Amino acid sequence: MIPIDTNKATSPTKKIRWYKVLYIQVIIAIIIGILLGHYFPTTGESMKPLGDAFIKLVKMIISPVIFLTVVLGIAEMTNMKTMGRVVGKSMAYFITFSTLALAIGMLVANIAQPGSGLNIDASTLDSSKVAEYVEKSHDSSLTGFLMNIIPNTILSPLNNGNILQTLFVAILLGISLALTAEKSRPLIDFFETLSAPVFKLVSILMQAAPVGAFGAMAFTIGKYGIGSIGNLLYLILTFYVSSVLFILLVLGAVARYNGFSIIKLVKYIKEELLLVLGTSSSEAALPTLMQKMEKAGCQKSIVGIVVPTGYSFNLDGTNIYMTMAALFIAQACNIDLTLQQQILLLLVAMLSSKGAAGVTGAGFITLAATISVVPSIPIAGMALILGIDRFMSECRALTNLVGNACATIVIARWEKGLDTKKLEEVMK
């Protein structure tokens, strides 16, 4: 197993054997995990610690990576107005495409009608299965979310791994260093020196990616079984097709307008996508995604702001899932929602998707928060999709990852912080 090394992989003088390439190792691990989970489900379930351990390893390094990238990026800025523009344009981009994703999920659900014909009596559903998620959704109000961005101490984000708290502290420290550049030069040099071993550590940890992907996939198939998705396969298929079309058509159009190909971008981040597919966690790919965006010619300060913020605010896959799943439940229970009710659902989802950002299982928790505000849809109906949520979470995470990679390049181009020659080189 080898660490990710883009330069080495593309070197004309050295050709790596196929079985040593990281993404091929991850593919093989995923296939073995599926086979083990299917034919030996008990053994597959017991592999869960391998997946959990890998995700913990990655989460261990996420905060230092974000902290160093953002602090150094902002410290090098000579104009604070530039940072303000980056943040403003990022939020405008996120809100626009998140809303568009919600609308697409609603449109496809109305056309495909994945829940029609199930004729479920909502009173017969066991709401106790989703009570845990409903309870968590009550704690994910927008106000609570914003208050949670402020950490208890300046060092606590590095301990608790909260992405937005780390970003908040890093931005403040980066601004302070930029405003006192001459006096702060020794500290800036120290952070630059520290970043080298930290990113090397990321490379070392990625060697365990196939093991983590194997453990997570074996557990998922072993616990839930491939057969468990059969009766709801149409919903899963509809969601996956909608997400692929969103990437190819919507993000594809944005990418084309900004001078790059979404297909080539997907190929460029294939290692990260396979890692997310295997672990069902987009956080597993965050450190290497930031590295790759810098290698693609995006300015460090822009990468440091857009990628971590996008992980909380630019959730295209989650948004498609939310409106589609809510309408599926309504259709399954033979509840006809008016256009006004569906628009209300979309507006509530716009807010709740931000409130539950960064929470484990955010997709399902956000769905609970949304449905609870629209009384026409029975909250107990969430039990219908609880069993397949794990399979849908992979597609949510994959779509979110592609959306954030695309957003980073687009915003870097808007800010003239994109080296187009570098981008063309890595896309080849």
How do residues 124-165 score in pLDDT, each as one tens digit?
655 555 555 555 555 555 566 567 778 888 888 777 767 778
| Predicted pLDDT of residue 228 | 54
Q: What tokens were used for 234? A: 């149409």
Please state the rounded mean pLDDT for residues 207-223.
82
Asked whether the predicted pLDDT for residue 299 surpasses 70, the reply is yes
Per-domain boundaries in the chain:
6-427
Instruction: Flag whether pLDDT at 408 surpasses 90.
Output: yes
For residue 169, pLDDT beyond 90: no
Yes or no: is domain 6-427 CATH 1.10.3860.10? yes
Cα–Cα distance between 341 and 184 in angstroms, integer?
55
What Cα–Cα distance (Å) separates residue 80 from each residue in 22, 94, 179, 302? 39, 21, 9, 13
Tokens of 121: 């009596």
According to the model, what pLDDT value does residue 1 have? 39
Cβ–Cβ < 8 Å for 295, 405: no
- Nearest Cα neighbor of 284 from 166, 357, 202 is 202
For position 68, what pLDDT does the model report? 83
Q: Which of 96-100, 207-211, 377-381 has the lowest mean pLDDT?
A: 377-381
Which are the contacts of 266, defined by CB distance < 8 A and separation ≥ 6? Answer: 247, 273, 402
Confidence of residue 214 (pLDDT cuts 50, 70, 90): confident
Provide the H-helix boundaries in 314-361. Answer: 316-332, 339-355
The predicted-structure confidence for 17-54, as pLDDT tens digits, reads as follows: 766 677 678 788 888 888 888 888 888 888 888 888 88
How far is it, in rounded angstroms, from Cα 254 to Cα 419?
18
Q: What residues contact residue 183 under an 8 Å CB cut-off, 6+ apart?
A: none
Which range is least confidently modeled, 264-278, 295-309, 360-374?
360-374
Question: Tokens at residue 135, please?
Answer: 């309870």
Per-residue pLDDT reduced to its tens digit, 308-336: 888 877 888 888 888 888 888 888 888 88
Kindly report the backbone phi and psi dihedral angles of residue 255, in degrees, each rounded to the nearest multiple of 5, phi listed first: -65, -45
